Chain A
Amino acid sequence: MNHRIGRLLGAWMVGCAVLALAATYYQGVIADRLASSPANPRVANAEKSVWRGSILDRNGEILAESTERGLDSRVYRGPGSLAPLVGYAHLTLGKSGLESAMDPWLAGRGWSYSRIGLLSTISQQPDRGYSVRLTIDSRTQRACEAALAGRRGAAVVVDAASGEVLAVASCPWVHPALLESAWDTVIAREDSPLICRPLAGLYPPGSTIKPAIAGAAVDMGLVGSGTVYDCRGSIRAGGTIISDASGAHGNIDLETAIALSCNTAFVHLALEAGPRLPEALFGFYLSRSLPLEAPTAVGMLSGKASDDALGQLAIGQGDLVVTPLHMAMIAAAVVNHGVMMRPRLVAEIRSVGGAVVKRSSPSVLCVPMSAEAARIVAGGMRDAVEWGTARAASLPEYAVGGKTGTAENPHGAPHAWFVGYAQHAGRKVVLSIIIENGGSGGQVAAPLAGSIFRAVLSGR
């Protein structure tokens, strides 16, 4: 009889092994998925019991705060054009933007989710979230918002030396308080008011890509400050002829080519550079998403090196698309001696008591061009504002440089671009602004730069 009892014993041990394996599966293998599933009632309950942290601008102005525990009391106070960046935190709609990206801090579980056994019994769980102070300057933000004046478009301002993002204006927007009642209408809108255009909108850059191409060409040794190119008014790139609207520019150097936005000269440079050009542009982060605390879109830059593709690339058309932030960062590299700083949106994270838990610091993202190339390109952009295509951006009190763009697109009138920098008393700020289907960059976008630069640089 004993061997039969032994068999039952064996069956029981197998049964226990099955139970232990099942427990390991649910508590080990897929535990994180189950724990964070939106259908897990603990997730919503945790929201209800936590006093969510605030989002502040760089001067401490409140952009979003909670007046009591739970998500229902969330109030958004900042400039409306920040709404797509800040996003929303809603019980049923979920979270987006910084509310989603910074959620672990705002909800007070910054270090780790509290699955630490008895230790969590002993330690008090925080019931107040951390507050997040951004690098955004509300004053600059409002200047951008005023410049966009309700038109579809985006503006982003970055401090070139530190990488701090000072303004991220996206237009149109919907105030988060209205989202719940108007959700169906909002998501059906063709102008996509929930997208944060400066970081996630993808547009053809048009002529604003030319400073990057100029920098790359200088570093390849194709052109120097003394080199002269004879512009005949048009050039053949593969099967297409690309021409200049203003006719032949004659003998021009690189700075003048930038100042006058000479298509012929840049197509010539692109054809000379060949396959090296797309490779050099990869170095400007164009084919990647810029690392930032909020979600950013991946730019698209095909590595095609046919003459047709190179011709389109030289004038920022074809299949190249970028975000306004990408263009601002290129201008930042130009004015910062060829060094692109890592862009930053979050200045610091503070506990309820005011103690700084985490602080961001400047760091170099990449070095897409040499200091010499940057100096030449910056000069060309300065010329463009002094007497070239971007004259409307000129300001008497600051050294402003820039580049306009008029980007053809399949959605109607061309997008109006201005990408530029302003220097004053050691500060270097860059602006990238686009008015969707606005028309000519020189006439529509460049005049908007003045008020924005004034707001940034006169602020201190």
Chain B
Amino acid sequence: MTTGGRLCRRDAERSLVGIVMLLAGISGASLSLARSGSVFGWDTVLCFGAGTAFAAAHLVLSAARFDGDQVICALVAAAAAFGYASVLRLRADLALRQLSFIWMGMGVMAATALWQWKGRAPGSGMALAIGAAALLLATLVLGQERGGARSWIFIGGMGFQPSEFAKIACVLAGADALSTLPACEVVPCSSPSPSASVATNRVSLSQMWASRQVRRLFAIWLVIVAFTVLQRDVGTAAIIYISCVALVYVASGNRHVVLGAAGLGAIGVGLACKFFPHVAARFAAWSNPWADAAGSSYQVVQAFYALGSGGILGRGYGSGSPWLIPAAPTDMLFAASAEEIGLAGSVGVIAIYLLLISHAYACAMRSRSPRRQLAAVGTANILAVQVFVIIGGNLGVLPLTGVTLPFASYGGSSMVASLALAGILLGSTAEFGSASAQAVAVAPRGGGSDGSDSDVS
């Protein structure tokens, strides 16, 4: 590679992604060993191929002189490699589709990262949100029902879920509008005493309401959440709602907003239980899973059996029977894989998400632009709430909802949307305005866009 010397600016990312690729290859090899008896089989190649997607992402980012965070890509790769091995183990027939989703998502991740980094237009968030709302409306009218939720649009045999993309739009619109609030002035690290900044640190609801942008933001959020609920996709609606409330809290510092939103949310859940029987059934199955183990809580109870059968060390790849849980490759991926990787493995998976999202918040704290900061917090919020909701649902901590485990579960919309969120997160960690970045950005881009990543553009 001719530009190798200049590409090495992302040394840490290169090493970390390399380690993840190695681990992906090892998990593929053990999967292959369990299924075909040889270490080098199709499973090895496929898992390694999933890891390679992130190596390609690394090359694209390096070639673009992107100077953002170098850890996020590797952690996302770790989650995706874990998920890919689990999906491959469960449904070998979905392996190639999932691999193409990962590569597609990787392209979207790199593209959104660069878009966010190079200075996204201020109106783009709102434009996306309006587009998402229109798509959701179209879904309500034309969409098809899958698993109790009318959230699918089919275009020529390929289906996708607009609600997955609505999450991204909500974050971007929120970051754009809320960064205009006075509380968002970034306090330098050597900040004066907190009392001095109190005046600008809190924004009352009326102050927020006074801003036209914020009024429009609240309206579009309301529309998106309402449409998602009307699609009977209560899980996704809850994720968007909680993440947006947390974003408003970070931007405004207004605790009353959080309390009021919590109250509204409780009322909303009560209404959902009343009008959607499947929501009420999920709550009943959560509060006492053993009461109707063969009926409404069958999925949860099967997850418990899978978890218990795994024990501390797991039963090993190929030795368990994770397909016994309904919807194992999508909603129940965590519990299904926990049988074979054991407590050691499932705590490891939780640790990947803990590191990824904690790192995202830490990066957000370091950022000096309120807009980037809020975009990073918003994406981290969405990922955090979704991970907690679905792993918590698998573990019986929360009622089970039909959402996916980001980066891991089978599903094209989910994979691409999650990786797009990761891209926004990545793009938000770089300071485009800084001198060095500017200098690099002016420099001609060339060597990076060679054959290996031409399919990204």
Give chain A's interface residues, CB within 8 Å of chain B: 1-6, 8-9, 12-13, 15-16, 18-20, 22-24, 26-28, 30-35, 37, 39-42, 45, 114-122, 125
Contact = CB atoms under 8 A, between A and B. Distances in A.
A23 B324 CA distance: 19
21 contacts: A1-B201, A2-B365, A4-B249, A8-B377, A12-B357, A13-B358, A15-B384, A15-B388, A22-B392, A22-B396, A31-B309, A34-B307, A35-B311, A37-B308, A41-B324, A115-B312, A117-B316, A117-B342, A117-B344, A118-B316, A121-B33
A159 to B, nearest CB: 42
B343 A24 contact: yes
Interface string B390-408: 0110011100000000000
A9 B362 contact: yes
Given A4-B249, A42-B309, A121-B33, A23 B183 contact: no
B317 A116 contact: no
A408 B336 CA distance: 61
A23 B311 contact: no
A31 to B, nearest CB: 4
B313 A117 contact: yes
A45 B317 CA distance: 17
Given A2-B365, A35-B309, A119-B316, 4 more contacts: A22-B395, A31-B307, A35-B311, A118-B316
A231 B274 CA distance: 89
Given A1-B187, A24-B343, A9 B361 contact: yes
Contact of A8 (B317, B341, B381): B381
Contacts of A28: 311-312, 343
B395 A19 contact: yes
B250 A5 contact: yes
A6 B250 CA distance: 10
B159 to A, nearest CB: 30
Interface of B: 30, 33-34, 183-184, 186-187, 194, 201, 246, 249-251, 253, 293, 301-302, 304-305, 307-321, 324, 338, 341-344, 346-347, 350-351, 353-354, 357-358, 361-362, 364-365, 370, 373, 377, 380-381, 384, 388, 391-392, 395-397
Contact of B361 (A12, A34, A37): A12
Nearest to A3: B194
Given A12-B384, A27-B346, A35-B308, A5 B396 contact: no
A33 B316 contact: no
Contacts of A22: 392, 395-397
A9 B377 CA distance: 10
Main DSSP-derived SS at the A contact region: helix
List 5 A-B pairs, minimum CB-CB distance, nearest first: A34-B308, A117-B313, A120-B316, A27-B343, A121-B316
Contacts of B381: 8
A6 B380 CA distance: 12
B319 A121 contact: yes
Contacts of A33: 308
Contacts of A31: 307-312, 343
Contact of B377 (A5, A18, A30): A5
Contact of A121 (B34, B183, B362): B34
Contacts of A119: 316
B350 A23 contact: yes
A49 to B, nearest CB: 10
B259 to A, nearest CB: 14
